[in-house]
Amino acid sequence: LQELEEDDAAALLTALERREPEAAEEVRELVQYEPETAGGLMTTEFASLPPDTKAWEAMEAARRFGREEMAEMLYYIYVCRPSGELLGVVSLRDLILSEPGQSLSEIMVENVFKVSAFDDQEQVADAIARYDLAALPVVDRLSRMLGVVTVDDVVDVVIEEATEDAQKMGGVMPLEDSYFDTGLAEFVWKRGSWLVLLFIAQLLTATVIRQNQDFLAATVELVLFIPLIIASGGNAGSQSATLVIRAMAVGELRPGDWAKVAGRELLIGLSLGIALGLIGFARGWFAGETVEPIAIATAVGASILAIVTLSTMIGSLLPLLIRRAGLDPAVSSTPFIASVVDVLGLVVYFAVAQVILHLVFGS
């Protein structure tokens, strides 16, 4: 209402006042729920019949529901007590295939998956997708039917949640409106907030380099591989984070699976690290001028192996840790992972290089 023009808002309020009392009561019942809950998504127009209804009577009722548009979706008929308690559900297919004299209590499915009116919309969307449902009943704490959430409503939720996660993973605060409807000031704020934090984090790389400037001055070849080291770690960590965040979003992973994830990602990180390390070793062989080529090649190859393995572990476990803390794992965006790994990568690179050059090769 606040976003409408004054005359449009006044016309809408007038129209609402003229609505029938029953319709107004339905609206009042629905507005008590938050928009991003099952209650906020549900419709109160659904087909419901008592358990002693015969199949032929249910068919007649279904035709009436359809003709008079009393139900938004006629895939299911919900079997309820007079009190509204949900007992079971009968699909139209089962109803058509049943004997006319059978009662709904005989043909209904009793183990009905249902949600509370206060459940989050993401949980509702996950349930509909997981159990391949056309609609999902919404009940109160006494298991009384309040409404249904239909699959077409969930499609909008899935798109909204996927868009929000994609924006978070890209290092952008979620946008409320579409791209062209978002103002420049809001864009600057929601994109700039993350950029400032990431910029401050990246400043730590300058600190790490400064603390090792004497070592770098003596072995200037190592400077050539700093971009390679940073990119390798950032890319590996971002890949792992993206895969784990998406797996959690679709229900494939839970925080309790951290041990399995750690073991799996350790093997993957080592495999990728060895492959990239061999390439780095080959390139480092041709870079040695102030020190032996084998020394530079070994330092670069070993550093890449260590950094890629470490980055893969961080990228996979950090989202799980964030979810364990009760936060949205998408906030561990790929730019954030890359920034953290950049700093750690340089620390590892210089530490490994100093050990190899001084202790092993005596350079």
Position 1 scores a pLDDT of: 64
**Residue of higher predicted confidence among 329 and 107:** 107
| DSSP designation for 170 | T
Residues 41/121, Cβ–Cβ less than 8 Å? yes
Q: What percent of the chain has pLDDT over 70?
A: 89
Per-residue pLDDT, 59: 93
Helix (H) or strand (E) holding 78: strand 76-80
Same domain for 206 and 352, yes or no, is yes
What the block records as the tokens of 292 is: 């032996």
Q: What is the longest distance spanned by two Cα atoms in the chain?
A: 95
Both tokens of residue 242?
A: 């993206």
Question: In total, how many domains does the chain have?
Answer: 2
Looking at this protein, which amino acid is placed at residue 292? E
Q: Is residue 171 part of a domain?
A: no
Can you read off the two tokens belonging to residue 337?
């992972």
Q: d(Cα 56, Cα 98) in Å, to the nearest integer?
A: 9
Residues 117 and 189 in one domain: no
Instruction: Answer yes or no: do 83 and 227 share one domain.
Output: no
pLDDT of residue 279: 94
How much is the pLDDT for 220?
80
CA–CA dist 205, 348 (Å, integer) = 12
pLDDT band at residue 30 using 50, 70 and 90 as cut-offs: low
- Same domain for 297 and 230, yes or no, is yes
Same domain? For 332 and 207 the reply is yes
The string of pLDDT tens digits covering residues 188-204 is: 888 888 788 888 878 88
Question: Of 144, 160, 176, which residue sits at a domain end?
Answer: 160
Supply the pLDDT for residue 27: 62
Percentage of the chain modeled with pLDDT above 90: 32
Write down the mean pLDDT value for the chain: 84
In a domain, 177, yes or no: no
Residue 68 has pLDDT above 80, yes or no: no
Same domain, 296 and 152: no
User: Is the Cβ–Cβ distance between 323 and 160 less than 8 Å?
Assistant: no
Four-point Cα dihedral 120, 126, 132, 136, nearest 10: -10
Which residues, listed in sequence order, are joined to residue 315 by a DSSP beta bridge? none
Which has the closest alpha carbon to 70: 19, 22, 134, 133? 22
Q: With CA atoms as reference, report the closest residue to 220 among 351, 353, 355.
A: 353
Please report how the helices 121-130 and 151-169 are oriented relative to each other, as an axis angle in degrees rounded to 10.
120
| pLDDT surpasses 70 at 346 | yes
In a domain, 145, yes or no: yes
Ramachandran class of 132: left when φ > 0, alpha when ψ lies in -120 to 50, beta otherwise: left
pLDDT for 118-157, tens place per residue?
998 888 888 888 888 889 999 999 999 999 998 888 887 7
The reply to whether 156 and 225 lie within a common domain is no
Query: Average of pLDDT values for 23-31?
Result: 62
Residue 172 pLDDT exceeds 60: yes
Q: What is the pLDDT of residue 136?
A: 92
Q: Is the pLDDT of residue 73 over 70?
A: yes
More reliable by pLDDT, 130 or 277: 277
- Per-residue pLDDT at 248 exceeds 80: yes
On whether residue 14 sits in a domain, the answer given is: no
* Residue 18, pLDDT above cutoff 60: yes
Q: What is the mean pLDDT of residues 83-100?
A: 92
Question: 171, 238 in Cβ contact below 8 A?
Answer: no
* Domain assignment of residue 210, yes or no: yes
Predicted confidence at residue 21, as pLDDT, reads: 63
In a domain, 53, yes or no: yes
Q: Are 250 and 122 in contact (CB under 8 A)?
A: no
Where is average pLDDT lowest: 51-65, 89-103, 255-269, 281-295? Answer: 281-295
User: Chain centroid to CA 45: how far?
Assistant: 31
Q: Domain of 341?
A: 184-360
- Residues 76-82 have a mean pLDDT of 93
Distance (Å, whole) CA 221 – CA 295: 11
Q: Are residues 156 and 192 in the same domain?
A: no
